[in-house]
Amino acid sequence: MEVHVARFALLLCITVATSASSQTCAPKKVNDNPWFHVREMLIGCWTSFVTEDNTEVHILNLAAMDEKIFSLNFTNAKPMNLILTSPETLYCLCNINADVNIYLSNSSAITLYGNQHHNNVHKQDFPTQDEELVRWAQQKFGGVTSFTTVRNLSNISSKGIAGTTNTSSHHCVLKNEDASEKHFMKIERTSLASPFTSCSPQQQIPSGEAELHIINIPENASTCNVSLRMDTKEIRVFLRGPQGTTWIILSQHTRFGSNNDILLPALAHRVPPSYTVNSDNAEDVQRKALDVFKVSTFTSYTELRPVGSTIIMALVRNESPAEPSPETVPEPVATDITPQQMPLLMQLYTSHDYVSPLDPNTRVQSDKRIYAEISGHTLGDIILTIKVIGCIVRSKGSCPVVKDLPFIPEACSPNSCPNSTRLSFSLDQLQELTSTTWDLECTVKLCSSEVGVHLKHLKQCKQEEISKHNLC
Ligand SMILES: *[C@@H]1O[C@H](CO)[C@@H](O)[C@H](O)[C@H]1NC(C)=O
Ligand SMILES: *[C@@H]1O[C@H](CO)[C@@H](O)[C@H](O)[C@H]1NC(C)=O
Ligand SMILES: *[C@@H]1O[C@H](CO)[C@@H](O)[C@H](O)[C@H]1NC(C)=O
Ligand SMILES: *[C@@H]1O[C@H](CO)[C@@H](O)[C@H](O)[C@H]1NC(C)=O
Ligand SMILES: *[C@@H]1O[C@H](CO)[C@@H](O)[C@H](O)[C@H]1NC(C)=O
Ligand SMILES: *[C@@H]1O[C@H](CO)[C@@H](O)[C@H](O)[C@H]1NC(C)=O
Ligand SMILES: *[C@@H]1O[C@H](CO)[C@@H](O)[C@H](O)[C@H]1NC(C)=O
Ligand SMILES: *[C@@H]1O[C@H](CO)[C@@H](O)[C@H](O)[C@H]1NC(C)=O
**pLDDT of res. 382:** 56
142 found inside a domain: yes
> Is residue 125 domain-shared with residue 166, that is, in the same domain?
yes
Mutate to test the pocket of ligand 8, among 412, 419, 451 (most ligand atoms within 8 A of CB): 419
- Give the model confidence (pLDDT) of 366-380 as tens digits: 778 889 888 775 544
> Would you give the distance in Å from CA 85 to the centre of its chain?
30
> Is residue 53 domain-shared with residue 148, that is, in the same domain?
yes
* Structure letter (DSSP) for residue 332: B
**pLDDT of res. 306:** 86
d(CA 162, CA 160): 7
* DSSP assignment of 137-164: HHHHHS--SEEEEEESEEEEEE-SS---
Question: Does residue 116's CB lie within 6 angstroms of at least one atom of ligand 1?
Answer: no
**Closest CA to ligand 1's atom 10:** 73
Report residue 301's pLDDT band, with 50, 70 and 90 as the boundaries. very high
**pLDDT of res. 447:** 67
Range of the domain at 295: 11-40+193-315
Sign of CA dihedral 316, 240, 212, 176: negative
Indicate which atom in ligand 6 lies nearest the CA of residue 220: 1
Mutate to test the pocket of ligand 5, among 65, 94, 185, 188 (most ligand atoms within 8 A of CB): 188
> Is residue 266 domain-shared with residue 165, that is, in the same domain?
no
Question: Does residue 22's CB lie within 6 angstroms of at least one atom of ligand 1?
Answer: no
- Give the model confidence (pLDDT) of 256-273 as tens digits: 889 999 888 776 778 888
Ligand found nearest the CA of 220: 6
Q: Is the pLDDT of residue 97 over 90?
A: yes
> Is residue 262 domain-shared with residue 285, that is, in the same domain?
yes
Ligand 5 geometric centre to CA of 154 (Å): 7
As a whole number, mean pLDDT of residues 4-16 equals 23
**Closest CA to ligand 3's atom 6:** 192
262 found inside a domain: yes
Most distant CA pair in the chain, distance: 98
374: nearest Cα among 391, 358, 383, 386: 386
- Give the model confidence (pLDDT) of 334-386 as tens digits: 322 223 334 567 888 888 888 888 876 677 777 788 898 887 755 444 566 77
Ligand found nearest the CA of 268: 8
**Closest CA to ligand 2's atom 5:** 125
> Is residue 294 domain-shared with residue 389, that is, in the same domain?
no
328 found inside a domain: no
Which pTM does this prediction carry? 0.64
Q: Which residue has the higher pLDDT, 200 or 438?
A: 200
> Is residue 246 domain-shared with residue 135, that is, in the same domain?
no
Q: Strands 42-46, 175-177: parallel, antiparallel or unpaired by DSSP?
A: antiparallel
327 found inside a domain: no
Q: Which residue has the higher pLDDT, 62 or 269?
A: 62
Ligand found nearest the CA of 195: 3
> Is residue 152 domain-shared with residue 213, that is, in the same domain?
no
**pLDDT of res. 384:** 67
> Is residue 246 domain-shared with residue 352, that is, in the same domain?
no
257 found inside a domain: yes
Indicate which atom in ligand 5 lies nearest the CA of residue 191: 13
Ligand 6 geometric centre to CA of 221 (Å): 8
Ligand 6 geometric centre to CA of 220 (Å): 6
As a whole number, mean pLDDT of residues 185-198 equals 79
Helix (H, G, I), strand (E, B) or coil at 207: coil
> Is residue 198 domain-shared with residue 221, that is, in the same domain?
yes
As a whole number, mean pLDDT of residues 235-246 equals 93
Strand partners, 197: 29, 303
> Is residue 140 domain-shared with residue 78, that is, in the same domain?
yes
